[in-house]
Amino acid sequence: MSNHPAVASKSALNPRNFALANCLRALAIDAVEAAKSGHPGAPMGMADAATVLFRNHLKFDASAPNWPDRDRFVLSNGHASMLLYGLLHLTGYEDMTIEQVRNFRQWGSITAGHPEYGHATGIETTTGPLGQGIATAVGMAIAERQLAAEFGDELVDHNTYVFLGDGCLQEGIGQEAISLAGHLGLGKLVVLYDDNQITIDGPTSISFSENVPARFEACGWHVQSCDGHDAHQLDSAIRAAKARTDKPSMIAMRTVIGFGAPTKAGTASAHGAPLGDQEAASAKEALGWTAAPFVIPSELLAEWRSIGARGRAARQDWEKRLAAVPVDTRAEFERRQAGALPSGYGEALRKSRASLFAEPKKAATRKASQMAIETLVPALPELVGGSADLTHSNLTRVKLIDTQFTRDIAGRYIGFGVREFGMAAALNGIGLHGGLIPYGGTFLVFSDYARNAIRLAALMRLGTIFVMTHDSIGLGEDGPTHQPIEHLASLRAIPGLTVLRPADTIETLEAWDIAIRNRRTPSLLALSRQDVPQLRLEAGDENLTAKGAYVLRQFGSGRDVTLIATGTEVSIAVEAAEVLAKDGLAVAVVSMPSWELFDAQPVAYRADVLGQAPRIAIEAAGKFGWTRYVASEDEVIGMNGFGASAPADRLYKEFGITKEAIVERARNLAKA
């Protein structure tokens, strides 16, 4: 089959697996050459392992990519995307045609440079930003266990497999995921580590010399090592990994990056650039590959297609089991998979609203958030939550979401530890898995740590709910390191994320309602540490927060000035407006819990709310971005720099976010 000594020695180990793997290598070589960019080395190095996994182990049916009980496959080193596209094409996923593979990295194709969730079936999550794939997979494994506990093994019993490289292990989030998975004993999580000892900058020895297996062992993992080109070793290791159900498993596969490329294999030059005509040709020769570019010999393609159909019987058996469970169970399972809300949800919401109007409450919006969860969760068995070690501050725990998720109990409350980034990615993974609605809490300032996972939620159009409390200098004494200033602006800047900063108990309930209904958009709730009065007092069923902004109070008729505020500053604006009204000014107070939702309203509505009079914005945060609604940043009562350490009241006063400051500015504007 091959005369190249390194290749020959490996190909002899299991010629059939090797031949199948060469289909993946050839497609990776061809697609990267055609695109004139991409990463051939990792697909070529991991092809043997991927073949063993898909051929012998992965439970899937290419004709039913969304089968809920399929094994999940996550390519955490997303730059190896051609490995995934090759697998999907070869096993027969309908949308992954050879044309798509030919159009790798081109406008309009489903074969982006990195795998993009939603572009093609079989892409379980978007990867590329390193370390997030494994952290997302941890969420999938958590979801699997929670749903298995709820619906039984006969409906939910699958593994989550992750391929990853050195980069995922160097990134801190990789360790957060490893530590959490080991702690929770996620025995159905199997990680295959592509130990090729090469990174972009050269040999990993430039920057990475730790004992990776020992690190995993220290974190409670079942660890094996094997030759990543030896199908028998790989098969045995995966088998042993599946058998070990009390611990997650890691298989360190010693591989050669760019396996088969005569001069570039095992070097950084195989990592992130096309091999080039000559090396590509030589590699194919060494591999014994004679087919034309993008052509898979029919006999090999047929075998790959049979691999794609290998799980069909299992899937059909599963469908029979689903059909056999009690009709209620089945209906609930299917509702949950579809992401539809339960019939009782609307009623729970109405009751919760009614009780707030019946008995208005002064409360911090983080407390209002806890009240909202508490009243909605009886109707929402799919809601699961947690916090990055700030449960008592975020108030993310409620009676029905109280049982801690541990290695023994698949509880609904997950203690993520001090791992904001890992938490956010895991929440995404829970959502991607399906069947559950995940939320998780930390301080708003630490959204920084989790930021790229919030971005990926938006990019993937996931309904992840981020509960971010202590949302301003109102946090007080902990000081500037803990006080968000630029965070609201920087989150509003993320396309496709809905940022909600509710003003009181009603708006907080409404924000939760929006977040729960938004199954294709992530929501981030910015909530206060400090108490605010309930400002909405007139009972009604309309979710005004869903309009993004609305006139909360109108003093006098017409408009001399409009005060726009968010969150805890709305009540200060109302107080200022009362003073201005006594001056005889006509003032509208606009509560604006969400810029994104407001900007999605019809032009006429927006014009009506904003009015023609001079406007002042009030928000205890940086002023950046407010010129979308006010004439200049001079018309923003907000922060010009970082906060300070002192009691909250003092900070509001010292930083000039006060009724008096609003009144003064409004009088000057109204005069002008």
DSSP 617: E
Q: Which is nearer to a second copy, 311 or 593 (CB)?
A: 593
Residue count at the site for a second copy (CB under 8 A)?
Answer: 109
Please report, as residue ranges, which positions from 428 to 467 form the binding site for a second copy (by CB under 8 A). 445-446, 448-449, 451-452, 455-456, 458-459
Q: Does 482 bind a second copy (CB under 8 A)?
A: yes
Query: In 10 A of CB 332, how many CB atoms?
Result: 18
| Alpha-carbon dihedral angle through residues 405, 411, 413, 417, given to the nearest 10 degrees | 0
Element (H, E) at 160: strand 160-164
Please report, as residue ranges, which positions from 157 to 196 form the binding site for a second copy (by CB under 8 A). 166-167, 170-176, 179-180, 182-183
Please report, as residue ranges, which positions from 309 to 348 form the binding site for a second copy (by CB under 8 A). none
Least distance in Å: CB of 195 to a second copy?
A: 14
Residues 112 and 105: their CA atoms lie apart, in Å, by: 5
Least distance in Å: CB of 340 to a second copy?
A: 27
Query: In 10 A of CB 599, how many CB atoms?
Result: 13
User: Which residue stretch of 7-15, 279-287, 574-582, 617-625 sits at the interface with a second copy (rule: CB under 8 A)?
Assistant: 617-625
Q: Cα–Cα distances in Å, from 538 out to 133, 294, 575?
A: 47, 66, 18
Q: Which is nearer to a second copy, 97 or 316 (CB)?
A: 97
Q: Which is nearer to a second copy, 130 or 565 (CB)?
A: 130
Q: Which is nearer to a second copy, 254 or 653 (CB)?
A: 653
569 as an active site residue: the answer is: no
Q: What share of the chain is helix, strand, coil (3-state, %, to 5)?
A: 50, 15, 40
Q: Does 479 bind a second copy (CB under 8 A)?
A: yes
Cβ pair 271, 212 in contact under 8 A: no
Q: Which is nearer to a second copy, 339 or 496 (CB)?
A: 496
User: Which residue stretch of 247-255, 363-371, 382-390, 558-566 sits at the interface with a second copy (rule: CB under 8 A)?
Assistant: 382-390
> What is the x/- site pattern for a second copy, positions 208-237, by CB under 8 A?
xxxxx-xx-xxxx-----------------
Q: Does 600 bind a second copy (CB under 8 A)?
A: no
Residues 111 and 181: their CA atoms lie apart, in Å, by: 30
Q: Is 479 left (phi over 0), alpha (psi -120 to 50) or beta?
A: left
Least distance in Å: CB of 339 to a second copy?
A: 22
DSSP 80: G
Of the residues 422, 429, 614, 638, which one makes contact with a second copy according to CB under 8 A: 422
Q: Which two tokens stand for residue 527?
A: 């909530």
Of the residues 419, 470, 559, 659, which one makes contact with a second copy according to CB under 8 A: 419
Query: In 10 A of CB 632, how many CB atoms?
Result: 9
Cβ pair 155, 322 in contact under 8 A: yes
Least distance in Å: CB of 142 to a second copy?
A: 13
- What's the half-sphere exposure (Cβ side, CA atoms, 13 Å) at 223? 15
The β-bridge partners of 405 are 410
Q: Which is nearer to a second copy, 66 or 205 (CB)?
A: 205
Catalytic residue among 124, 150, 171, 420: 420
Backbone angles phi, psi at 638, to 5 degrees: -160, -155
User: Which residue stretch of 465-473, 565-573, 586-594, 637-645 sits at the interface with a second copy (rule: CB under 8 A)?
Assistant: 637-645
Least distance in Å: CB of 19 to a second copy?
A: 30
The contacts of residue 522 (CB under 8 Å, 6+ apart) are 454, 457, 458, 462, 463, 464, 465, 466, 496, 497, 498
Amino acid at 635: E
Pairing of strands 498-500, 202-203: unpaired
Least distance in Å: CB of 413 to a second copy?
A: 10
- Listed in sequence order, the DSSP H helices in 248-344 are 277-287, 298-309, 312-324, 327-338
Q: Of 398, 383, 478, 377, which is closest to residue 435 (Cα–Cα)?
A: 383
Q: Which is nearer to a second copy, 54 or 104 (CB)?
A: 104
User: Which residue stretch of 56-64, 360-368, 430-438, 489-497 sits at the interface with a second copy (rule: CB under 8 A)?
Assistant: 489-497
Q: Assign 3-class secondary structure to 377-407.
A: HHHCCCEEEEECCCHHHHCCCCCCCCCEECC
Least distance in Å: CB of 614 to a second copy?
A: 16
Of the residues 8, 16, 99, 200, which one makes contact with a second copy according to CB under 8 A: 200
Least distance in Å: CB of 141 to a second copy?
A: 16
Q: Which is nearer to a second copy, 177 or 287 (CB)?
A: 177
Of the residues 65, 78, 248, 258, which one makes contact with a second copy according to CB under 8 A: 78
Of the residues 644, 656, 664, 667, which one makes contact with a second copy according to CB under 8 A: 644
Residues 301 and 319: their CA atoms lie apart, in Å, by: 28
Tokens 């060469």 belong to residue: 22
Q: Which is nearer to a second copy, 5 or 108 (CB)?
A: 108
Least distance in Å: CB of 93 to a second copy?
A: 19
User: Which residue stretch of 198-206, 244-252, 343-351, 462-470 sits at the interface with a second copy (rule: CB under 8 A)?
Assistant: 198-206
Least distance in Å: CB of 337 to a second copy?
A: 27
DSSP 447-477: HHHHHHHHHHHHHHT---EEEEE--SGGGGG
> What is the x/- site pattern for a second copy, positions 15-54, by CB under 8 A?
--------------------x-xx----------------
Is the dihedral angle over the CA atoms 449, 451, 457, 463 positive or is it negative? Answer: positive
Q: Which is nearer to a second copy, 82 or 516 (CB)?
A: 82
Q: Of 465, 535, 500, 507, which is closest to residue 352 (Cα–Cα)?
A: 507
Q: Which is nearer to a second copy, 320 or 392 (CB)?
A: 392
Q: Does 642 bind a second copy (CB under 8 A)?
A: yes
For residue 320, with 0-12 CB atoms within 10 Å meaning exposed, 13-18 middle and 19 or more buried, which class applies? exposed
Please report, as residue ranges, which positions from 385 to 414 form the binding site for a second copy (by CB under 8 A). 387, 389-393, 404
Tokens 């031949």 belong to residue: 19
Q: Which is nearer to a second copy, 19 or 137 (CB)?
A: 137
User: Which residue stretch of 287-295, 419-427, 529-537, 552-560 sits at the interface with a second copy (rule: CB under 8 A)?
Assistant: 419-427
User: Which residue stretch of 43-51, 202-210, 608-616, 662-670 sits at the interface with a second copy (rule: CB under 8 A)?
Assistant: 202-210
Least distance in Å: CB of 469 to a second copy?
A: 13
Please report, as residue ranges, which positions from 116 to 145 form the binding site for a second copy (by CB under 8 A). 116, 126-131
Backbone angles phi, psi at 307, to 5 degrees: -65, -40
Q: Which two tokens stand for residue 39?
A: 């990463």
Q: Which two tokens stand for residue 46?
A: 């991991």
Least distance in Å: CB of 193 to a second copy?
A: 14
Q: Cα–Cα distances in Å, from 543 out to 91, 363, 511, 644?
A: 47, 20, 9, 36
Q: Does 201 bind a second copy (CB under 8 A)?
A: yes
> What is the x/- site pattern for a second copy, positions 235-274, by CB under 8 A?
----------------------------------------
- Positions marked catalytic: 420
